[in-house]
């Protein structure tokens, strides 16, 4: 695999590689943005009604997490801009579940003897 190809490949849960045409699913999105303090409560209420989690930092910075988003991202951004009465910059971060493992301790003879 060449240098250019390795930069655009992504690993799936089973260790195989996803091509750019078949990207990983998004498990969570985190947005960080600054809103007008006059519209902050209205924006928070709208996002909470949609089931998103919100953290506030000061009077105007919001950090929003959206577990397993099902689409409609662009539409939601347009709604937020309309509520705020002007567009604002949003930092958008996507989190993907690449691998999920569960480790269990090995059973020992000592554990077996105390159980008996």
Q: How far apart are CA 110 and CA 81, in angstroms?
A: 63
The pLDDT > 70 percentage for the chain reads 73
The token pair at 25 is 């699913």
User: pTM of the full predicted structure?
Assistant: 0.63
Residue 30 scores a pLDDT above 80: yes
Output the pLDDT for position 23: 64
Residue 33 has pLDDT above 80, yes or no: yes
């Amino acid at each position: 695999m060449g240098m250019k190809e390795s930069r655009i490949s992504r690993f799936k849960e089973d260790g195989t590689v996803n091509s750019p045409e078949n990207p990983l699913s998004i498990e969570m999105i985190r947005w960080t943005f600054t809103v007008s303090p006059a519209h902050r409560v209205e924006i928070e209420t709208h996002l909470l009604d949609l089931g998103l989690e919100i953290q506030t930092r000061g009077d105007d910075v919001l950090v929003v997490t959206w577990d397993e988003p099902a689409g409609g991202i662009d539409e939601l951004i347009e709604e937020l801009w309309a509520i705020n009465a002007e567009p604002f910059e949003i930092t958008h971060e996507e989190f993907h579940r690449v691998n999920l493992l569960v480790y269990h301790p090995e059973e020992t003879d000592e554990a077996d003897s105390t159980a008996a």
